[in-house]
Amino acid sequence: MKKPMFAIRGVFFAFFLLLTIPAGALAHKLPAGFKGFKDSASCAPCHKKIYDEWSMSMHSRSDRKSDPAHNAVFLAFSRTMAKAGKKAPYFCGSCHNPAAGQSVGAKEAYASVPGIPCAFCHSVESMSGGKIFNTYSLSTSMTSSEAVSGASAPHPVSKWSFASPSKMCLGCHGKMKNGKGTVICSMDMEGHSDCVKCHMAETAGSPADGSGKSSHFSHLFPGGHYINIMKEGISLSLEVNKGKLLVNVKNDNPHYFPSTSPMRAAYVKVALLDKNGKILFASPAPMPGKKELFMRVFTAGDKKGVPPWMAEKAVDSRIKSDETRTLAYDIPKGAARARAVLYYRLFTPAAAAKFGIPAKDARPVKVTETGINVN
Ligand code: HEC
Ligand code: HEC
Ligand code: HEC
Ligand code: HEC
Ligand code: HEC
């Protein structure tokens, strides 16, 4: 597939529009007496298993230094701003590097801590709804889903105000809109299920040295960068019905497939072969408008494929939670076998080329494949 799948031009304009909102409204609220965040490495001596998991997660690699894809998109945004004679503030940090001074609107300088550190999530007290995205109110003490006294931990831990630990994820994952109020990405819309159950599975090993527990909630937070989680809940099956080949893609996940970043794409490739393995039919390249592509394409009026900053609506061909998408194909004469492969991409090749995102991030990854005899 040589042709770029779609033009992702304009993603940075969406961010441009966001900037008409005062930067202070995008910062997290600090408690009185705040002295800065502890580096995650300081938790490692006692929480080794959790620290090792977190170190491999995208939460530890979400900032400009450690995520080349994020940095590339931010630089593209900066160049656009520079053309308009403006300096780009790093408001992305509210979610991508929340323990950087600018992201919390700290008046006094303090050392910023990379990624989404332990000390950020574990000082969240509550969430404040925002117009384009949410922010958090932070506490000076350590917080968690359970209160722990200083007797069992060298540091007391107080309880989050959220009804469930999942609710604390939604400050960053809940929503992001453009200047027109059009949703760019949103877990709010995809369903508030128990994030912890799937993305923080209970795993063997004590959560802390000196703890009485023998298992802990994994801090690997697998998503698009861990293809194994893609295999869960997504299934592909083939059948022949009334002379047609039916390709069924079933999504048992609580999210759309793929979710949630608008840059993600998934597609199937279908082929019908004769008894010698010669290809008689191959499905077209997965372009917008083709049934084989599962992705969101933004629209304005009757224009399709507009950049997100112009977006009023979206043509969303992603597969909804609990949906089975069925694609039908004519079976050519002489066909003996059919096969289908489901692929996932973090970024489209067009987006990678546009932003200078490392090409490896645009490589298609095989999720699953299957085949049947059709004669
Ligand atoms: C000197 C050792 C030590 C250090 C350093 C340490 N902790 Fe702990 N922590 C513990 C122990 C022990 C517990 C109690 C665990 C238990 O009883 O299950 C605990 C409990 C916790 C809990 C509550 C767990 C629950 O059951 O809900 C959280 C959250 C936590 N620590 C986070 C952190 C973070 C974040 C850091 C770094 C900023 C850190 N800890 C540094 C030893 C430590
Ligand atoms: C409201 C919180 C929030 C803000 C603000 C935000 N992001 Fe994100 N971003 C996220 C979340 C959450 C994800 C993960 C979504 C997913 O995996 O589907 C993400 C993922 C990304 C990715 C994909 C990264 C990868 O390695 O796959 C890129 C690129 C990105 N953001 C760029 C930006 C840029 C550039 C800005 C600022 C101009 C920004 N984001 C602002 C929350 C935010
Ligand atoms: C993205 C947010 C986030 C980050 C980052 C994070 N945690 Fe957690 N942590 C959670 C949530 C949510 C839970 C609660 C899971 C539950 O109780 O269901 C938790 C639970 C814990 C627990 C209790 C685990 C158990 O099984 O009893 C400890 C200890 C802990 N975290 C320490 C850490 C340390 C140390 C780091 C950094 C290496 C860290 N956390 C990073 C969100 C986070
Ligand atoms: C401070 C903001 C913030 C919080 C809080 C947060 N996340 Fe994230 N999360 C992000 C960002 C930003 C990314 C994208 C990082 C990147 O790819 O650059 C991300 C990525 C992810 C991914 C995708 C990882 C991958 O392999 O691509 C998953 C899954 C995830 N988060 C789950 C959670 C869960 C579950 C919680 C709550 C326990 C949570 N997050 C809390 C900001 C946050
Ligand atoms: C029943 C299991 C399950 C629950 C519950 C769940 N997820 Fe997921 N999540 C998945 C699977 C499987 C995928 C990968 C397939 C997909 O993208 O649809 C995924 C994908 C994601 C992604 C996209 C990763 C990427 O890189 O683009 C993010 C972010 C995410 N989940 C965060 C969350 C948050 C936040 C919650 C809670 C509101 C949550 N999930 C609840 C199973 C679950």
Cα–Cα distance measured from residue 295 to residue 317, given in angstroms and rounded to the nearest whole number: 5
Q: Tell me how far the alpha carbon of residue 60 lies from the centroid of ligand 2, in angstroms.
A: 14
Q: Tell me how far the alpha carbon of residue 47 lies from the centroid of ligand 3, in angstroms.
A: 10
| Cα atoms in the 13 Å half-sphere on the side-chain side of 258 | 28
CB 176 within 8 A of CB 184: yes
Tokens of 121: 């999530």
**pLDDT digits (tens), the chain, 375 positions:** 334 444 444 444 444 454 555 666 678 998 888 888 999 999 999 999 999 999 999 999 999 999 999 999 888 878 877 888 888 778 889 999 999 876 776 666 667 889 999 999 999 999 988 888 999 999 988 999 988 887 788 898 999 999 899 999 999 999 988 778 888 888 888 877 899 999 999 999 999 998 989 999 999 999 999 989 988 889 999 999 999 999 999 999 999 999 888 889 999 999 999 999 999 999 999 988 899 999 998 788 988 766 666 679 998 999 999 999 999 999 999 999 999 999 999 998 888 888 889 999 999 999 999 999 998
Specify the residue with its C-alpha closest to ligand 1, atom 39.
43
CB 264 within 8 A of CB 344: yes
Task: Find out whether the beta carbon of 233 lies less than 6 Å from any atom of ligand 5.
Answer: yes
| R_g (Cα) of the chain, nearest Å | 23
Q: Tell me how far the alpha carbon of residue 125 lies from the centroid of ligand 3, in angstroms.
A: 14
Cα–Cα distance measured from residue 43 to residue 123, given in angstroms and rounded to the nearest whole number: 14
CB 154 within 8 A of CB 168: no
